[in-house]
Structure 1
Amino acid sequence: MAAMTSSARPLLNRRLAEFGTTIFAEMSALATATGSINLGQGFPDQDGPAEIREAAVRALREGHGNQYPPGPGVPELRTAIAAHQERRYGLAFDPDREVLVTAGATEAIAAALLALVEPGDEVVALEPYYDSYAACVAMAGGTRVPVTLRPDTEAGGFRLDLDELRAAVTDRTRLLLINTPHNPTGTVLTREELTAIAELAVERDLLVITDEVYEHLTFGDAAHIPLATLPGMRERTVTIGSAGKTFSFTGWKVGWVTASPELVTAVRSAKQFLTYVSAGPFQYAVAEALALPDTYFDAFRADMSLKRDLLADGLAAAGFEVFRPAGTYFVTTDIRPLGESDGFAFCRALPERAGVVAIPNAVFYDHRDAGAPFVRFAFCKQVPVLEEAVARLKKLTA
């Protein structure tokens, strides 16, 4: 039977025409093909707490979640999420009306954008951004408006230009899409920056989606401040969290939304036609994980801080300019001191040159030239793996 095709119209929805195979799939395949150390995709190479893994096993054996869980998420997890938000940040949420469990943060982002954005709406997002942001805005029919975080050599990181953010908002702007701690740059927005964002949102009557999946990964003096804690933001903010990054079980795909009843209802209306429900037994395990004592979170942060320094110091010794992150588990580097300027070409050649895989930051930009010389490395790996990667990268200056 001949394939059904039309010469007049491509098969792929035109809203997705600019999106092909993700860079993560390409670079992970390259890592496998070359036997390289994969510091590209951001997933840990060891499991999280054994007692949480065993909690998932126990749930499976006891028949908790083996059938469809409730659409909003199992009550135990919704209660644990609400308790976590109140204990950590003083944010009180009704677990029955203001918490929604999703198939990871990626589904939460998709459901929120599909629910809240209509064709013609503008979405202002901090650039560079997690790649699903652009695809989800496109699927919703919105127009993305990037505001670029720019390197600050003196501060050793990336900074948000608040004047540029204000100028990006027009009468067509529906919402702001904020990510802090920020992937890929490692920026953690300050209270001053968040206050300015909040004031802008209130002044222009904007909704805000805030991706806070790295909330427990801040280093040094940096501190995560949820946008919803600021004046006027509780009722207009959709806050997204995730178990994957905090507990190192990224394959479980357990995320969540906390927001006002009206916003949660809107997001749930879209989410129910995506996965409907997911990760039943894992939801029970994540409920136990969120109740772990502060010592777990402190140790997790300390461990990642040591790994950050190990990789950042090694990258600097290999000739990169390093922007030491204040949060997340990624290091952004500038390859120009190595005599390079094209991050795509550099990353595609790096496995053969040094046996290491990284990600070109340009893939996270609309303004590709602004991201061209930057390359991201993940440090959520075991110490011996990072030590070997650092040793291999020395070949670049040998």
Structure 2
Amino acid sequence: MEQQMVTLADVARQAGVSASTVSYVLSGKRSISGPTRERVEEAIRRLGYHPNAGARALASSRSDIIALMMPLRTDMYVPVMMEIALAVATTARSHGQDVLLLTGEEGPEAVRRVGASGLADALILMDVELEDARLPLLAQTGRPAALIGVPAEPAGFTCVDLDFAATGALCVEHLAGLGHRDIAVVGEAAAVYERRTGFAERTMEGLLRRAGELGVRVLHRPCEGGYASLTATLDRIQDERPRTTAFIVQNESAVDPLLSLLRRQGRAVPEDVSVVAVCPEQVAVQAAVPLTSVAIPALEMGRRAVELVMAKARPGGADGLAAAAPQVDLLAPTLTVRASSGPAPAPSPG
């Protein structure tokens, strides 16, 4: 026989109190005496009562939901974004929170809708641009929020991200230390730079600055990824910088095509040309030639974003985004040396 759903009225009868008293115990809106509270809590345990989420939200003015804004774009590497989303969802559950996933490209309108509806107690934004149109509205919601990414002006926002500027610098330092002086960067799709996505711009900023300090020439070419686009990009690089001896790749979908095309051209990795990537560990390890790489700490970024937003949501925590000073949590990059990078080849005679 199917078990009947336990109601708040059932708990009230079991505890010998009114339904409103049970509601007050659940919401904490009124002070209830210790013995009465204990009777209600014992009745809840005995009956296995689980408050309806909607009723709980009405009673407490809380939904126990975090909205995760994760625009799914064709020019972004979705597996990394989903890994971050999984970390957000798992960490949120450990705090008794559920996650509302918003994958559309609505931008400010989605922030406005969530803020006005009370659907979520807090918000986490991904795919942050340097001049992100969502941020002014996010500040107006007054809800606890965190960004996975760093805008150009982070004042008043709580952010977590890999330190992409340091990541770019680290890749150049590694190759320069091996004697490479002409490096080509195979970047993200052109649209990623056109909308000034933070992680891509900051990588190039740090990379170019360090290259200048080390006397390394850098040629940066965006790439859509895939064999056709990579073939055209590689041909262009070889025409423009025929002395290129190393590649830095920040485009997961370009990794396998690049290694394949170099092999077809008879260019051995790393004897003839070195390759360093900014990519997930799994992509680097499973490549045809295990890649020297800086890993994307997706799980840590998602976990930290939830921890930061929950700290703001706790009583006594920072009120929404009101603080003027930014809280920017940058994760230090680690470069793991594998089989794809080696000393620069000796220049050809003449």
- Confirm or deny a common fold (TM above 0.5): no
Larger Rg: 2
Q: When the two structures are superposed, what TM-score results if normalisation uses the length of structure 1?
A: 0.22
Q: When the two structures are superposed, what TM-score results if normalisation uses the length of structure 2?
A: 0.24
